[in-house]
Every structure is written in structure tokens, then in C-alpha cells.
Amino acid sequence: MSVANEKSLSGISRPKLPLPPPALVGLAFGAQVLLSKRRASSTGSRIAGLLIAGASISLDVAATLEFKRNNTTMDPITLDATSLVETGPYRWTRNPMYLGATGLLVAHAVARRSWPALIPAAVFATLIDRFQIPAEEAAMRQLFGSEYERYLAGRPRWLGPVPRRRDA
């Protein structure tokens, strides 16, 4: 990160996560393996897990391709983003990559038929939701202002109905 970016980030609440999201996914997966060590999968659980994993990977790939098409960074906290991506999966969710990562963890728990293995998936999603996403949203607000506020008003953070504005 350049010194200029460090200075421009001074007003942004930096993420309080000690590790980047991909490392957290790896740790969550490792915890799942330990929690589901004695669980045997079945044909049905493997198929269900594969379907969830396929959808999750598709979501991640589609989101990554949208960033490449728009020639912008996937790390908004650097303040190097050149455009606000609103196409592809970003039409339905503000965080398709985190949704895809969470989906992969859920897919593993389903494939292993392990309820305890869902705990690391929930912890990952909660950490991302409470720490990483707010820092990224603050950076996007700084970069794109009212354009980003309009985008926020029209997309849920994860999935579901469009959020209602309390001030409206």
C-alpha cells in the first residue's frame, strides 16, 4: 500500500480482523475437518454438498469476472477502486464473494453430514459481517459517495429482500 493511500485511509475504520478473509476461510475449513472427523458422508450428502459448492464457486467466479471486466480492484480498502461494480451477481447481493466463501464452508458441512461443522461457517460469516464488510463499505462510501449510497439502498448485504431505509 502506498503512503498516499495510508494517509487517505486515516478516516476509515480499518478491519479489526487479524487475518485476511481467505486465511479465515482456511482456518474455518480446518476447524470443520476437526469437528467432522468421525462423520461419514453419504451419496446424498456428497451430491448436496457438490450442488452447494458448485453454486458457491460459480458465484465467486462471476464476481471476480465482473471486477476484471470493470478493470477495478477487489480490495476497496486500498482506495484504488476505479468503478462501482453493479453488474453480474452484484445486482442481487453486495457481497457475492463472501457469500460464495460461506457457501463453500456450508457445502463441506453438508457433505460431511456434520451439524458442528456449520459452526465455523457461521463464525466466518459473522466475523466478515461485523468487521470486514463495514470497513469495506466505509471505503466505498469515501470513494463513491452518493452513488454508493444508492447502490446500498438497492441491494441486501447478503441475500434476501432489499433493505429498507430507516430514515425514509
Which domains, from first to last, does the chain contain?
A: 40-154 (1.20.120.1630)
Question: Which residue intervals of 21-132 are DSSP H helices?
Answer: 21-35, 43-69, 96-111, 118-127
pLDDT at 39: 85
Rg (CA), the chain: 17
Task: Please state, in angstroms and rounded to a whole number, the distance separating the CA atoms of residues 38 and 35.
Answer: 8
Task: Please state, in angstroms and rounded to a whole number, the distance separating the CA atoms of residues 9 and 127.
Answer: 21
**Cβ-based neighbour number of residue 89 at 10 Å:** 22
82 within 8 A of 71, measured Cβ to Cβ: yes
Task: Please state, in angstroms and rounded to a whole number, the distance separating the CA atoms of residues 71 and 46.
Answer: 37
Task: Please state, in angstroms and rounded to a whole number, the distance separating the CA atoms of residues 11 and 6.
Answer: 10
pLDDT at 168: 44
Can you give the length of the chain in residues? 168
Give the cell for residue 70: 470493470
pTM of the full structure: 0.85
Residues 115-143, mean pLDDT to the nearest whole number: 94
Residues 41-65, mean pLDDT to the nearest whole number: 97
pLDDT in tens, 88-109: 999 999 999 999 999 999 999 9
Which has the higher per-residue pLDDT, 65 or 5? 65
CA dihedral 136, 142, 143, 147 (to 10 degrees): 100
pLDDT band at 150 (very low <50, low <70, confident <90, very high): very high
> Which has the closest alpha carbon to 50: 3, 103, 129, 5?
103
